[in-house]
């Protein structure tokens, strides 16, 4: 059965990741996100495409959530508690711990602060999380008798995972968001080499090759220091987990080295609570953080304090991390409205900003002077705007490296922008020869899946497989004294045994049983006659003048030096030297190279001989060459070699 991939979100866009994959009858939903840039029907995936009747519990085998970002999990409470899905949901332990915090924070931003219609409640979030089954990394989980899943470390954010899913012989990997480069607080993505029909990968930075991480960090620190030194305030809009911890570790180290006293703040609540989870879940962090945790926890920030709303207009410089990222409403947008009109202040956008967000509007304008924050409000922007790529997504090189490592039969790109996805598709297909697709939302891609057939093997076929197929190759071995000049090398013979078994696969009428038989058995089984097409060529080979002097005409008694066996031996010696990678057998009457046969031709008029005038200084001896269909390349090579030989005595 083909693998069907229905993209309900993140198709040619970044937002509301949701991909439903059907593998051998099992339907899996990977991620259930919301789009942060829309407030209409485009906010959530179109779940009606999964089941027209609305019976989502029976339609889906399970839901897999890769990490806690809202564009990957934001629609989950709505889908379970409002739409009625009641089946299993899988995610890692850190994701299960942190997801409720992020979901509730996002709900408050949408409802309590923006006044939007409540699509799900705090109680819905709690009920939704009761359906979640937490998994460990590399733990193989049997969802049912046929479907197995396994999580792999993805980097990106705490607890993020790539997921492997297998049904029968068909297998896929869905990456979610991942990072192929290690960070201060997280390691790089890690996955086993797997046999895969399909990889579904994010492509946020499909056309970006990142510069040096150290250069970006230096630029960031320089901009922050310059702003606070002149009395300005720095606003860094981020989501509550991931970027704040990474950048706080960077600032904490810099503040210590530079002996700075300027306060660094986290917006109160979510991020302070998140830091507690980072301390508890330290085994999911980078190796450096884990190795130093016994002496000092990297998330105990000496210079970082909690920030209260009453401090927005307080005098003096400061650095503030405020949620949410992308300036998509909430406290970060509230602070932006107050700080943006002042030239000494600085707004740093440390990652990707989705279409429809205020952050995207700032990044899109060359020199923003006004920005629209809602339908009725525009803000004067006189502060400095810096976009710096501290995103935890992998870049184009990382995506290409992962695809090369996994070498799947097909690739589907999601979570990216259409023009950049088109460019990445071309690179994957041209560099690796792997078919690649980037469907839009609500489109389905069907790809063939793997199905292995178990077959019996006949005794004659197995016996033919055991026959050796020796090849003798020359190799050169050096002594251990490589540093000695003019070192003498010793030629050695390397023996290869590449066995090739030819047979036929017979499928029984019931379609369930199959057997591999030797080709000789096949003709008996089907009651047919064995026909073989052969080709022949009578090839002249020159002989030296000394052999010419003792040569007699064909048919007469030849002296011992020129009898058939001697001529074959001379030819055998010459061919063995010139064709060292081939195995040549000499049984006295003929030479055999695989199915290519060479024998001395004593006929005056051979029908397979093309008349050639011999060289004026030599005579020719004719050899008849016979080979089967399919051996044309071998025949051409051997005959070409023979025509350039000269047989000599001794």
Enter the tokens of residue 236: 């860094």
Most confident of 356-370, 378-392, 498-512: 378-392
pLDDT band at 139, cuts 50/70/90?
very high
Q: Return contacts of 500-503, CB within 8 angstroms, 24+ apart.
A: 500/469, 501/461, 501/464, 501/465, 502/464, 503/457, 503/458, 503/461, 503/464
Enter the tokens of residue 310: 């009453």
Q: Which pLDDT belongs to residue 528?
A: 72
Give the tens place of pLDDT for each residue, 481-524. Answer: 344 344 455 556 667 766 667 788 888 776 667 888 887 787 77
Verify whether residue 334 is a known catalytic residue: no
CA-to-CA dists, residue 512 to 456, 457, 462, 508, angstroms: 12, 15, 22, 7
Query: Who contacts 366 (Cβ-Cβ below 8 Å, separation ≥6)?
Result: none
pLDDT band at 478, cuts 50/70/90?
very low
Q: Which pLDDT belongs to residue 455?
A: 85
Q: What's the average model confidence in pLDDT over 17-29?
A: 97
How does strand 470-477 pair with strand 490-497? antiparallel
Q: Which pLDDT belongs to residue 135?
A: 97
Kindly tell me if the per-residue pLDDT of 553 is higher than 50: no
Q: Of 183, 202, 217, 521, which one is the catalytic site residue?
A: 202
CB 373, CB 379: distance < 8 Å: yes
Give the tens place of pLDDT for each residue, 311-356. Answer: 999 999 999 998 888 887 788 899 999 999 999 999 998 877 877 7
**Tokens 């040569």 correspond to what residue?**
551
How does strand 596-600 pair with strand 619-628? antiparallel
What is d(CA 444, CA 255) in angstroms, rounded to the nearest whole number? 51
**Tokens 């251990």 correspond to what residue?**
480
What is d(CA 562, CA 552) in angstroms, rounded to the nearest whole number? 9
CB 392, CB 156: distance < 8 Å: yes
Q: Which pLDDT belongs to residue 435?
A: 97
What is d(CA 195, CA 408) in angstroms, rounded to the nearest whole number? 7
Kindly tell me if the per-residue pLDDT of 479 is higher than 50: no
Neighbours of 439 (CB within 10 A): 18
**Tokens 């178990």 correspond to what residue?**
454
Query: Who contacts 168 (Cβ-Cβ below 8 Å, separation ≥6)?
Result: 23, 24, 146, 451
Q: Which pLDDT belongs to residue 109?
A: 76
Kindly tell me if the per-residue pLDDT of 557 is higher than 80: no
Q: Which pLDDT belongs to residue 458?
A: 86
Q: Which pLDDT belongs to residue 483?
A: 41
Of 22-31, 416-425, 540-549, 584-593, the range with the lowest mean pLDDT is 540-549
Enter the tokens of residue 633: 């390349």
Of 6-20, 212-226, 235-249, 568-582, the range with the lowest mean pLDDT is 235-249
Looking at residue 75, what DSSP letter applies? T
What is d(CA 289, CA 487) in angstroms, rounded to the nearest whole number? 51
Give the tens place of pLDDT for each residue, 35-57. Answer: 988 888 899 999 999 998 999 99
Give the tens place of pLDDT for each residue, 225-271. Answer: 999 999 999 999 987 677 888 888 899 999 999 999 999 998 855 56
Kindly tell me if the per-residue pLDDT of 291 is higher than 70: yes
Computed over every residue of the chain, the mean pLDDT equals 86
Looking at residue 205, what DSSP letter applies? T
Query: Who contacts 627 (Cβ-Cβ below 8 Å, separation ≥6)?
Result: 534, 535, 595, 596, 597, 634, 635
Give the tens place of pLDDT for each residue, 182-228. Answer: 988 899 999 999 999 999 999 999 998 887 788 888 999 999 999 99
Q: What's the average model confidence in pLDDT over 458-470?
A: 77
Kindly tell me if the per-residue pLDDT of 556 is higher than 50: no
Q: Which pLDDT belongs to residue 225?
A: 96
Give me the sheet containing 456-457, strands edge to edge: 456-457, 514-518, 503-507
Enter the tokens of residue 631: 């051996």
């Amino acid at each position: 059965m083909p693998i069907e991939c229905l993209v309900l979100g993140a198709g040619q866009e970044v937002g509301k990741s949701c991909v439903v994959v059907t593998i051998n009858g099992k339907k899996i939903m990977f991620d259930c996100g919301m789009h942060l840039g829309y407030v209409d029907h485009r906010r959530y995936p179109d779940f009606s495409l999964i089941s027209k009747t609305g019976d989502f519990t029976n339609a889906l085998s399970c839901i897999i959530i890769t990490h806690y970002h809202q564009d990957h999990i934001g629609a989950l409470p709505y889908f379970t508690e409002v739409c009625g899905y009641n089946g299993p949901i899988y995610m890692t332990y850190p994701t299960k711990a942190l997801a409720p915090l992020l979901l509730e924070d996002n709900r408050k931003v949408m409802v309590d602060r923006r006044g939007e219609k409540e699509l799900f409640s705090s109680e819905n979030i709690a009920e939704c999380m009761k359906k979640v089954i937490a998994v460990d990394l590399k733990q193989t989980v049997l969802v049912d008798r046929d479907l197995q899943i396994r999580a792999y470390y993805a980097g990106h954010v705490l607890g993020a995972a790539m997921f492997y899913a297998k049904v029968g012989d068909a297998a896929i990997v869905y990456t979610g968001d991942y990072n192929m480069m290690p960070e201060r607080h997280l390691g790089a993505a890690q996955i086993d080499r797997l046999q895969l029909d399909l990889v579904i990968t994010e492509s946020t930075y499909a056309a970006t090759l990142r510069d040096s991480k150290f250069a970006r960090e230096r630029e960031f620190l320089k901009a922050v220091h310059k702003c606070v030194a002149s009395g300005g305030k720095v606003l860094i809009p981020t989501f509550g987990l991931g970027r704040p911890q990474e950048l706080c570790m960077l600032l904490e180290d810099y503040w210590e080295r530079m002996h700075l006293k300027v306060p660094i703040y986290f917006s109160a609540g979510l991020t302070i609570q998140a830091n507690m989870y980072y301390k508890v879940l330290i085994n999911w962090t980078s190796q450096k953080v884990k190795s130093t945790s016994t002496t000092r926890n990297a998330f105990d920030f000496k210079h970082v304090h909690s920030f209260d709303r009453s401090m927005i207009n307080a005098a003096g410089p400061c650095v503030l991390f405020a949620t949410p990222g992308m300036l998509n409403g909430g406290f970060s947008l509230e602070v932006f409205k107050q700080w943006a009109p002042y030239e000494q202040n600085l707004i740093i956008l440390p990652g990707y900003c989705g279409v429809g967000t205020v952050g995207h509007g700032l990044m899109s304008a060359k020199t923003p002077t006004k920005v629209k924050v809602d339908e009725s409000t525009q803000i004067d922007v006189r502060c400095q705007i810096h976009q710096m790529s501290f995103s935890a997504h992998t870049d184009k090189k990382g995506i290409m490296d992962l695809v090369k490592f996994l070498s799947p039969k097909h690739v589907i790109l999601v979570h990216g922008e259409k023009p950049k996805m088109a460019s990445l598709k071309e690179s994957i297909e041209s560099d690796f020869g792997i078919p690649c697709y980037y469907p839009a939302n609500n489109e389905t891609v069907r790809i063939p899946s793997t199905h292995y057939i178990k077959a019996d093997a006949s005794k004659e076929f197995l016996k033919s497989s055991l026959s050796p197929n020796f090849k003798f190759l020359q190799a050169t071995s050096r002594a251990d004294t490589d540093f000695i000049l003019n070192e003498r090398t010793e030629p050695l013979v390397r023996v290869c045994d590449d066995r090739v078994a030819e047979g036929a696969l017979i499928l029984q009428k019931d379609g369930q049983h199959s057997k591999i038989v030797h080709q000789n058995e096949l003709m008996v089984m089907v009651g047919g006659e064995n026909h073989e097409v052969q080709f022949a060529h009578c090839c002249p080979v020159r002989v030296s003048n000394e052999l010419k002097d003792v040569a007699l005409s064909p048919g007469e008694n030849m002296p011992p030096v020129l009898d058939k066996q001697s001529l074959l031996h001379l030819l055998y010696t010459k061919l063995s030297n010139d064709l060292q990678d081939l195995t040549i057998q000499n049984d006295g009457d003929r030479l055999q190279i695989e199915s290519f046969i060479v024998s001395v031709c004593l006929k005056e008029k051979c029908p397979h001989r093309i008349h050639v005038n011999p060289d004026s200084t030599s005579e020719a001896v004719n050899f008849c060459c016979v080979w089967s269909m399919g051996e044309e390349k071998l025949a051409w090579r051997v005959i070409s070699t023979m025509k350039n030989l000269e047989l000599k005595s001794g």
